[in-house]
Amino acid sequence: MLRVLMSFCSLAVPRNFRLLEELERGEKGIGDGTVSYGMDDGDDIYMRSWTGTIIGPHNSVHEGRIYQLKLFCDKDYPEKPPSVRFHSRINMTCVNHETGAVESKKFGILANWQREYTMEDILTQLKKEMAAPHNRKLVQPPEEQLLLSPHAFRIVFQLSLNCIAGILNFTYGISCVSNVEYIP
């Protein structure tokens, strides 16, 4: 709805309202459930730090892999894109192999950022980029355990559960409780 209003009006929605809408969409699940995102810290009133999850696309070397990302929305978001970094090791032409940072100049949506783009758009485009001919057959590093703090692990675990529940619901019509709380 926000996108529709923004396309008809030149009125800019304030940053926090925009991020609240993105948070709501991320918590509901996106499309077929293979992409999800949410806030790292619910107490962060500036809504800066986010975690994203992408389940690798079919018919690619990424199939069956779950990739974790960090998105950081600075004070200039959505006027400027968030910084995006993979926590999972991945071999893609637009990702710095040492840091996991998505390189803006090599990734179209970040290079040509427009205010109406969202974190959902970024994650969806990254998934499409994984399936692109120049990335879908690249040799991938071995899967390894993520180096996450316990708090970050709980968030990633919750996002993964939501993602799996979304896939089951979308694919098989199985309704799952996707708001299961991880208790360490």
Domain assignment present for residue 11? The answer is yes
Domain assignment present for residue 150? The answer is yes
68-126 pLDDT tens trace: 999 999 999 999 999 999 999 999 999 999 899 999 999 999 999 999 999 999 999 99
Query: How many structural domains comprise the chain?
Result: 1
Please say whether the beta carbons of 33 and 163 come within 8 A. yes
Domain assignment present for residue 123? The answer is yes
Range of the domain at 135: 2-172
| DSSP code string of 22-84 | HHHHHHH-BTTTTEEEEES-TT-TT--EEEEEEEPPTTSTTTT-EEEEEEE--TTTTTSPPEE
User: What does the alpha-carbon distance between residue 108 and residue 94 come to, in Å, rounded to a whole number?
Assistant: 9
* CATH code of residue 25: 3.10.110.10
Domain assignment present for residue 165? The answer is yes
Domain assignment present for residue 57? The answer is yes
Q: What are the backbone angles phi and psi of residue 38, rounded to the nearest 5°?
A: -170, 175
Domain assignment present for residue 9? The answer is yes
Domain assignment present for residue 177? The answer is no
141-176 pLDDT tens trace: 887 644 455 566 667 777 777 767 767 666 677 666
Task: Tell me the whole-structure pTM to 2 decimals.
Answer: 0.73
Q: Which residue is it, tokens 């996707």?
A: 178
Domain assignment present for residue 48? The answer is yes
